[in-house]
Amino acid sequence: MNPLQENIQTAVTRISEFLAQRGKATSWQLKVTFRLSASVLYLALGALYQQGKISLEADGINYHVTWTAGVKTQPVAAPAAPQPPVK
């Protein structure tokens, strides 16, 4: 495993433990708490989201991250593609 993959896996583990205890946080809180680069933070959140362990809700430049592991949820459909601008 290369160093980036190790950093991402460490972040996934630490974020999982944090959210399992607290239930929710913002992406900014996670970034500051664990001193993560934006790249590692969002790759770790993406991995947790793909595994179905968290839900994400956009709020400006931040995301509200909620721990959902163990809670049965319906799969979320991908958003529709944006419409081309009207000329």
For residue 33, the model assigns a pLDDT of: 96
In 3D, which of 63, 62, 60, 51 has the Cα closest to residue 16? 51
Q: Which CATH architecture has domain 3-67?
A: Orthogonal Bundle (1.10)
SS3 34: helix
CA-nearest of 65, 32, 26 to 49 is 65
Q: What gap in Å lies between CA 17 and CA 11, rounded to an integer?
A: 10
Query: What's the pLDDT score for residue 70?
Result: 62
Strands (E) across 2-83 are located at 24-26, 54-59, 62-67
Tens digit of each residue's pLDDT (9 = 90 or more) over 30-82: 999 999 999 999 999 999 999 999 999 999 999 999 999 865 545 556 677 77
Task: Give residue limits of the domains in the chain.
Answer: 3-67
Residue 86 has pLDDT above 70, yes or no: yes
